[in-house]
Amino acid sequence: MNQPRVTVIGAGLAGSEAAWQIAERGVPVTLYEMRPVRKTPAHHTDQFAELVCSNSLRANGLTNAVGVLKEEMRMMNSLIMYAADKHAVPAGGALAVDREGFSKEVTDQLKNHPLVEVRNEEFTSIPEEGITIIATGPLTSPELSEKIKALMGEEYFYFYDAAAPIVEKDTIDMNKVYLASRYDKGEAAYLNCPMTEEEFNAFYEALITAETAELKEFEKEIYFEGCMPIEVMMKRGKQTALFGPMKPVGLPDPRTGKTPYAVIQLRQDNAAGTLYNIVGFQTHLKWGEQKRVFQMIPGLENAEFVRYGVMHRNTFINSPKLLQPTYQLQGRSNLFFAGQMTGVEGYVESAASGLIAGVNAALTALEQDTILFPNETALGSMAHYITTADSKHFQPMNANFGLFPPLEKRIRNKKEKNEVIAQRAIDALRSFVESGATKRS
């Protein structure tokens, strides 16, 4: 009897992870990626799992929910985590990667897997037969979007993500910046651009009056807080930035011993350390305006921008109405969804959804029961949230400790509480794995 083949549409973070999990369980998989046949407004390469926003996978420790999620994924033989750990660059207490090395690693691993067949062509319909995972992401082609809408009978929600500019390190005035991580956590991994109150006020006025790029035919703007354009944030008031991406707390200037009025951080963007991105400065200002305004930042007066910030649309479905915690479409067990289009927000969360969808698609192909990851785990709590949240007000969600079930015993100290939740999650997943529930074929 021939082994059923699973189809995965989209080779982003979620689709790549899903394909890997399926193949690693002995099930053949066909992975479709429309690039380079058809480009998107946000992608710059033809590689799988391209990081189109920041190069950071966020916090790496177990005192942060996304750190717990990453550790759980490592326990599940995650390809995305393997590639991220292998191509990590200095980022203090966070996990940041050399984006080119990371994407190439994922691409090579999948293309060289004996059970993975890669097809570079656009997929414009949803197969009726066979097992399929749709992981086409926030930039799903209009043709496939219409097919998904017709299938679900639900209108999409949409919002915009924004990517931050990247500058060449050699063009940064190192006499005006200093190396440090906030509160001295981890190694000193960020270049910090200090501002006086006068400099901040001038920068603020320039930014909020700068000309933005046209949003084409889109009807209204709905920004997810985690990737909000800096100019939109600043228009909420000066204090918004001072408590956000320009927060000076924990970053005293070693040359003066004093904390600046405001600080803008630059984070290493590649392994060679030749590129730095402006942390939290996602934007959709016109390119000429970006150069004019961002060169007002101390140290960046003569900076060369290798990539300006760009805006792109993100699309996600009403998962509480449509999906099961296995990431299967309700009423159609052979069709799965994964990635940001399910309403998970963030690189790691997207890959994690692909991991769960991939495991369950493989089990379906093997005619075995699908599995629900324990709610006590980061993997399970995220799946539970996006499929049980209020469907009338559903919005994208990052991994966070608020999604986990409460502890039986109340712990007042936040750090201690999070550590207990994290350990409970790791223990729960370990027991789940050891029970054989996630076992490969």
10 annotated to bind ligand: yes
Cis peptide before 114 (omega within 30 of 0): no
Task: Answer whether 298's CB lies under 8 Å from 266's CB.
Answer: no
Per-residue tokens: 285: 């200002």
Task: Answer whether 7's CB lies under 8 Å from 22's CB.
Answer: no
Residues 6+ apart with CB under 8 A from 50: 12, 43, 44, 99, 103
Q: Is 316 helix (H, G, I), strand (E, B) or coil?
A: strand
Residues 6+ apart with CB under 8 A from 146: none
13 annotated to bind ligand: yes
Task: Answer whether 6's CB lies under 8 Å from 28's CB.
Answer: yes
Task: From 258, 427, 355, select the one nearest 14 (Cα to Cα).
Answer: 355
Backbone angles phi, psi at 362, to 5 degrees: -65, -45
> Which parts of 41-181 fold into alpha helices (H)?
65-75, 79-86, 99-111, 142-152
271 annotated to bind ligand: no
Distance, in Å, from the CA atom of 6 to the CA atom of 238, rounded to the nearest integer, reads: 51
Distance, in Å, from the CA atom of 425 to the CA atom of 336, rounded to the nearest integer, reads: 25
Q: How many residues does the chain have?
A: 441
Task: Answer whether 287's CB lies under 8 Å from 313's CB.
Answer: no
Secondary structure of 230-273 in HEC code, one letter for each residue: HHHHHCCCHHHHHCCCCCCCCCCCCCCCCCCCEEEEEEECCCCC
Task: Answer whether 6's CB lies under 8 Å from 365's CB.
Answer: yes
11 annotated to bind ligand: yes
Task: From 114, 87, 134, 104, select the one nearest 24 (Cα to Cα).
Answer: 114
Place of tokens 């320009």: 246
Residues belonging to the binding site for FAD are 10-15
Binding residues: 10-15
